[in-house]
Structures are given as C-alpha cells and as structure tokens.
Structure 1
Amino acid sequence: MDFPFAGVTPNELSFAARDERYRRLHEWGEPSYLHPSGLRMIWKYDDVRTVLEAVLRGVSTANSLDPLVGYSRIATTASAIPPFLRHLLPPPAKATANLTDLGLHKRVRDTMSGADGHFTIPAGQRHAREAAMSAHFHAALDELDPGAELDVTALSIAYAARVTGEAVGLPPQSWPNVAIWSSAQSGLLGRRMHGRELGAAVDALGWLFTISARTVAHGSGFARRLREAELPRRVAISAMANSLAAGVHTVSGTIQQGLQRLLSAPDRAWWSLLADPHQAGSVAIKLMHLDPGLVAWKRRADEAITLPSGTTLPPGPILALFAAANRDTAAFPDLWNLHGKGKLPLTFGIGRHVCPGKQLATLAIAVFLRELHAQIPHAELIPTIGRRRPDLLFSGADIAITT
C-alpha cells in the first residue's frame, strides 16, 4: 500500500477523499514518513501534540515560517530578487510561531491573547463582535452580486479578509488586497514554487510586510497595542503580518471544506442545525476539528529525539499533521458525533504555542455559516471541475452553491 499522502495533499482532495486518506494514514505501519519535500511527517495524536508543544529538548520552532523552497531558491530566482530587496530586507523578524526567545514570545502572546489580549473576546463584547461579523458577511455578499449560483470560495475569502483586516486594525482600503498578500505567505510556506510564480509570491509577501509596517506605525487597535507593549518594531511588524495571513486562510479554508461536508451529507443534519443560533457554534467547532483550513505545521528536530510514545525522529524538519491527529481514534473514539467526547483537537496548536486568534476564528466561522444558512437554507452544491494546487500546510475547496 502506498503512503496515503506521498503524492497528494489534503488541498487537492474532496472531503470524502480526505476522510479515506486520513483513515488509511492511521493504519500505516510506521509512526513517521519522510516526505519527498524533505519534511518528516508525523500524525499520531500524542506525537503531534508533543512536537507542537515544543517543550521537549531537541524540538525547535525556529523553522515554522521558513519558505518550503528555502531562502537560497528565492535568492537565485531573478523575479524574486527585486521585491525581496525592496520590501523584505532585512528579512522579517521572528514573532510568534517561530520565536525562540521565550520571554519575548510571552510578551507578544500576552499582547495578542490572554485575559486582556487583543484577540480575546470578553463575554460582554460577543454580541457586538457577532454583529460586526454579520455586517462583513453581507457586505462581502453584496460585492459578489450573486445570480443563480454563488461562489462560496470567493465569498469566504472576501469575508475572512474583511474580518481579519478589521481585527488587526488594517485600513479598510487595504482589505481587498489582504487575501492576495496572505495567499503569498501561505503559498511560500506550503507549496513548491518556481520562476515567476515564486517572484509574484515574494512581491505580494513584501507588500504584506510593508503595509503591516505602516499599520504598526500609525494604526489603531492591534497596532496600538503592539506599540504600547513596546515590542521591538520588527517583531511587531511580523506579528501583524502573520496574524493577517493565518486569519484569512484558517477561516476561509475551514468554511470551504466544511460546507462541502455539510451540504454533501445525505440528511444534511449539521447544516440544518445552523438554523439554531445556539448550535451554529457547535457545528463550527466540529468543522475546525475535522476540516481545518490549516492542516499542518512545521517544527525541527535539532538532534535525534525520542518522543514519550517511543517514536524516534532523526535530526531535520518535521511536518506535524494536526488535521490527521484530529482523526486519531485513540484520542477521539466518538469522532463523528457532533458532541463526541475526546481529547483537545490540535487545530490551533497547544500550550504556549496555541494560536492567539482561536476564539476570533471560531466565532467568525460560526457567524458565516449561520448567515449563509439564513440566506440560502436550501442551497445545493454545484459540481466543480479541476484540481487544486498541492499544498502541505493549507487546504480549502472550490465551492459554488445554488441560490
């Protein structure tokens, strides 16, 4: 039997094909696999949790935001050199996901999340946040002007860009470009790019950091908090840029893949639950568990390590497949039950490296699903043709529905 993800990534598969590949993955005879990309894949829940926590000696987060093609490929790609020199020199500082200075990491995290962090939603502000997200949904929907069918992929990206752009204090005139800039960072992290495509991605990433720098210098909200925390300027800029990129693709990718599942189920039971505002949150949480837009994250073994499970890993880069770990029946014996018991899903990481935007992203997905159901309760999927690009870290789906 071939390794289930040797030649295909989750981004290229329908939800049913992903389900089958993840099932086969957990039947694989070894606990790790050296992927052709050079990344060693792991997928067992306990192993992925240990590596994501990065508290075990020898496990590093330093490579988490390194481009998949490597910096040397960028440096030798003619079309990538000018935008790199214009926008990305000196190279971006480490900020959250790849910051190894634990004291500075805590200062950044405390600014972003925690009891008084920017992305924390106090109970008293939840309704106001929901109303703002609902307004973003309808604004994005009006911009598309749907006819007999609705491009949900485009709608979800526009919505996620608006919600994320507002959350970090980006000026509204920049919101339409957020998806393009964010796509550049996510593409560089999880895809093999060459030539002009690589140059275009570096250019867009450069603009993401340039606009982030301007926002950190003059913006309100998150930008002001970063300034008030007196973080090093380059660290603050990276925190802003990384938040934009992660927010757009986590929210939109989960919506796309989740809707494919919701509208394909024979009884559409979970889709019907969206009519109940109290159930929409449970559906969103389950979709974040099963179909997250971000499916894996990088770590590095700085030396040969043995995980508590007994799994041994040689030195080198690791790809922790947390979307696969979320399907480990040893951790989730009641996986397909909406309210099934189990361990904590690893979609947003764990411990000191948990995603600061977890609460915001989950609420944004719930609001989108609830509003879409209210607008088009009898939506039907329209078959799509074509194959998405391979991507080791991010995943989505091309979704269109009848209106």
Structure 2
Amino acid sequence: MIGRQDVAVVEFPFETLTCNEISFAERDERYRLLHEWPEPTYRHPSGLRMIWKYADVREVLDAATPGLSNANSLDPLVGYARIVATPRAIPHFVRHLVPPPAKATANLTDDRLHKRVWNTMAGPSGHFTISPGDRPHRAAAMVEHFHDAVRDSGYRPGTHLDVTALSMTYAARTCGAAVGLPESDWPHVAAWSGAQSGLLGRVMRGRELADAVAALGWLFTVSGRAVREGRGSAATGFARRLRDAGLSHRIAVSAMANSLAAGVHTVSGSIQQGVQRLLTDPDRAWWDLLADPEGSGRVAAKILQLDPGLVAWKRHVKTPVVLRSGTRLPAGPVLVMFAAANRDPEAFPDCSDLQGTGKLPLTFGFGRHVCPGKSMATLAVEVFLRQLRELAPEAELVPEASRTTRRSDLLFSGADITITW
C-alpha cells in the first residue's frame, strides 16, 4: 500500500490498482498522492490518458470545447475489434445487438437530439426529475424497495447481512421500477447492467468477454420489449414519455438500457463504499447522523462526492487541445477521473469535512452532459443508508467478508461489505 512515508516513490498512484480493488482508506491516500503528482495528466497502460484536476475534469466532461467529444463514452474498453475476434461472443452479438444500439444519452453527439432526449429524462417535467412535492412519494417507494430487498435476501435476525448483495438488489429494483421494466426482470437487472459496466471499464477476453456481451444483449433485448409494451400503454411511463417526445424506438431502447446500467452500479457502488466508510469510523459520527432527515441528506451527498460507485468516465480528444487551465491533451481517449476531482484541494479545501465548503462535486457530470438520473440516484442512496441505519443501528463490519479479491475496473467501484449486530 502506498502510504505517507512513500511520498518519494515515483510510481503513479493508479498505475497498477483501480479504486475497485482497494478500501476507502487506501483510496483516500492514493487520491491525496495523485493531487501531488507533478504533471496534470498521465498516460495509463490501458491507453487512456488520465486527468484529475477539477478545472480540467469539468471542462472535459462538458465536452463543449472544440476538439473534445463524448462519442466514445459507451465504447467497450477492449474495443469492438476484440469482440468481433472472440468466436464465443459473435452469436450473442448477432442475436441481440444487430443492428447496433443507437446512441441516446452519454455518447450522443447530435446536440439537438441530445437535448430532446435529456429533457425527456431530466427537464423541468422529465421522467427522472424529482420535485420537492414529489420527493416524499418517491422516497416512500424506495423504502418499500429496501424492505423487499431485505426480504428477498433471506435475511433472518441474528445472521449476517450481505450489504453488497442487498444494495445491488435494491438498486436493480429501484432502477427497474423507474424505467418501467416488468418486475419479473428485476432479479436479472444487476447482472445485465454489470455486463455493460464491465465492458466499459475492464479488460475482458475469451469466455468472460462473451458472457458479458450476452448479458449486455439481454439488457437491450429486455429493454426493447419494455419499450414496445410501454409505448402502447395508457399510463405515462418512461417509454410513453419517450414516444411522446417523438424519439425513435432504437433511441428509446438505448435510453432505457443505459439508464439501467448506469443507475444500478452508481447507486449500489456508492452504498457499498459509503457503508464501509461510515462503519469504520469508531465515533460513528456520520452513521448516527443518518437518524436525522437533514443529516442523512448531508451524509449521502458527501458519500456521493467521496465514494461514488462510478469514479470516472471516458471522453475523446479529436485533435490536440489546450484546456483553459493550460493543460495540454494530445489526440486520443481520455479517462476523466471525477471522483479524484471531487477531492482536488484547490476546489475543496477540506473535502472530508461534512460542513466543508467547495465547488459543485462532479460525480454526475457537468454542463449539458450532467447525468439525467442525478436526483433519483441521490435520493436512492440516501434512503438506503437511512433505512440500513434504522434496521441495524449497532451494525458492525464483518472483517473477513472484505478480504475477497475484487476485479480491476477503471470506471466503476464498490466494496464487499457484510455486517452483523
């Protein structure tokens, strides 16, 4: 582990390890060292150029500067050529993903169409927009999903509770219900969403790559079925909203599939890492604040700043660019490390202080590409943490449950968390 005594070590803090493989304490230290790195960019062995300074991350996430593009945001890390060259993956690709999915949200470069899709999802009356008046109703539904997830887990008083599995079931239920996916598909949503997430941030080969393509294919196939059924429904669900906005079937399917994939892993990963941080504190200061409605909101917001389940995103530099800060980016793919930017001391003088001041955290993006599910994901994390604190106020981490080896992942991060009380 890199520690304070190792400041002189020249290895880049994230040269060989990703956030998904380390605890929150080691992640904190590596982020600290990252912001002491002498250069503002680093070419990672993956081929992605990493950036982490707040000003640079904000500008590149927005992708409004000439030369910057978001077109590669949902491209698999290994590239499409690797998928085509994997015999086991081809049948799944042909069955489920031909013609290829349309660009709909994160990777849509047509500004007018992007705005229409985004407004349908998160405009003033968008599907994922949560107004103050609607918040109690949405929160109550999430509380039900939490308790249903506990029931589905088979948990019995006096036994250990697998928070990692619980958070994924909860996130799948919450996101599946939000987009109008049939309840019978909810148990599979986490695995299907994990396939898309894994393809984006992990290097896969062989059977693992083929299995991920198959699961991704099912995510789009089931989303397509839900869109077809929802478009003809009298109820104003997600598919109906997309239809009323005049969006094509292919774009509607991609919008649904992408919302599921991003939502499940952002929500569940943030919960897992957040619980690890909250329960490691011997004073339980933030954990106990969850009993207070106002306090729980502050804690959830801080967790989403420090420990988001989605830690980075991709952009592409079409031609060499000089950012407003003076940072130079050569042409090629960029890994935008917004979880690191959320700790930049120039933007957040004391990022670990719950009452600390600072700029807007970049967990959900910035500008025209801000995540349309931001308010829903934030509420989902808050509700889960509050309900877990109510269910198990004296919870303790089970140390041996966190010793499993987690996979390298450049984009998504979580933790293996089991509690007892």
State the TM-score, normalizing by the size of structure 2.
Answer: 0.95
Question: How many residue pairs end up in the alignment?
Answer: 403
CA distance in 1, matches of 2:154, 2:191: 21
Residue equivalent to 1:153: 164
Q: Secondary structure at the match of 2:94?
A: helix
Deviation of 1:339 (Å): 2.2
Q: Secondary structure at the match of 2:419?
A: strand
Q: Secondary structure at the match of 2:333?
A: strand
What CA deviation, in whole Å up to 9, does each residue of 1:356-396 have, x standing for no partner? 00000000010000100001000000112221000000000
Residue equivalent to 1:85: 94
CA distance in 2, matches of 1:284, 1:329: 21
Residue equivalent to 2:7: none
Q: Secondary structure at the match of 1:181?
A: helix
Residue equivalent to 1:189: 200
Residue equivalent to 1:248: 264
The reply on whether 1:13 has 2:22 as its aligned counterpart is yes
Which region of structure 1 is more displaced relative to structure 2, 266-275 or 333-342? 333-342
CA distance in 2, matches of 1:385, 1:396: 13
Residue equivalent to 1:376: 392
Letter in 2 for 1:356: P
CA distance in 2, matches of 1:54, 1:308: 13
The reply on whether 1:285 has 2:285 as its aligned counterpart is no
Counterpart selection for 1:205 from 216, 219, 242: 216
CA distance in 2, matches of 1:116, 1:81: 41
Counterpart selection for 1:176 from 174, 187, 210: 187
Residue equivalent to 2:281: 265
Deviation of 1:278 (Å): 1.9
What CA deviation, in whole Å up to 9, does each residue of 1:232-251 have, x standing for no partner? 22111111100000000000
Letter in 1 for 2:90: I
Q: Secondary structure at the match of 1:124?
A: coil
Deviation of 1:266 (Å): 2.1
Question: Kindly, what percent of the aligned residue pairs are identical?
Answer: 67
Residue equivalent to 2:238: 222
Q: Secondary structure at the match of 2:396?
A: coil
CA distance in 1, matches of 2:356, 2:130: 26
The reply on whether 1:399 has 2:410 as its aligned counterpart is no
The reply on whether 1:335 has 2:355 as its aligned counterpart is no
Letter in 2 for 1:355: C
What CA deviation, in whole Å up to 9, does each residue of 1:323-377 have, x standing for no partner? 0000101000121111211100000000100000000000001000010000100
Counterpart selection for 1:349 from 365, 384, 395: 365
Counterpart selection for 1:390 from 408, 411, 414: 408
Residue equivalent to 2:250: 234
CA distance in 1, matches of 2:85, 2:351: 46
Letter in 2 for 1:175: W
The reply on whether 1:365 has 2:381 as its aligned counterpart is yes
Deviation of 1:90 (Å): 1.1
CA distance in 2, matches of 1:283, 1:386: 27
Q: Secondary structure at the match of 1:278?
A: helix
Q: How does 1:34-49 map to 2 (within 5 A)?
A: 34-49=43-58
CA distance in 2, matches of 1:280, 1:209: 35
Q: How does 1:124-163 map to 2 (within 5 A)?
A: 124-147=133-156, 148-163=159-174
Q: Secondary structure at the match of 1:176?
A: helix
Q: Secondary structure at the match of 2:75?
A: coil
Residue equivalent to 1:316: 332
Counterpart selection for 2:61 from 22, 34, 52: 52
CA distance in 1, matches of 2:113, 2:226: 21
What CA deviation, in whole Å up to 9, does each residue of 1:71-95 have, x standing for no partner? 0000010110000000001111111
CA distance in 1, matches of 2:417, 2:303: 16
Deviation of 1:152 (Å): 0.1
- Consecutive unaligned residues of structure 1, counting only runs of 5 or more, are none
CA distance in 2, matches of 1:95, 1:46: 27
Which region of structure 1 is more displaced relative to structure 2, 174-183 or 275-284? 275-284
Q: Secondary structure at the match of 1:123?
A: coil
CA distance in 1, matches of 2:131, 2:354: 26
CA distance in 2, matches of 1:125, 1:77: 47
Which region of structure 1 is more displaced relative to structure 2, 335-344 or 186-195? 335-344
Q: CA RMSD in A?
A: 0.7
Counterpart selection for 1:305 from 321, 326, 350: 321
Letter in 2 for 1:280: S
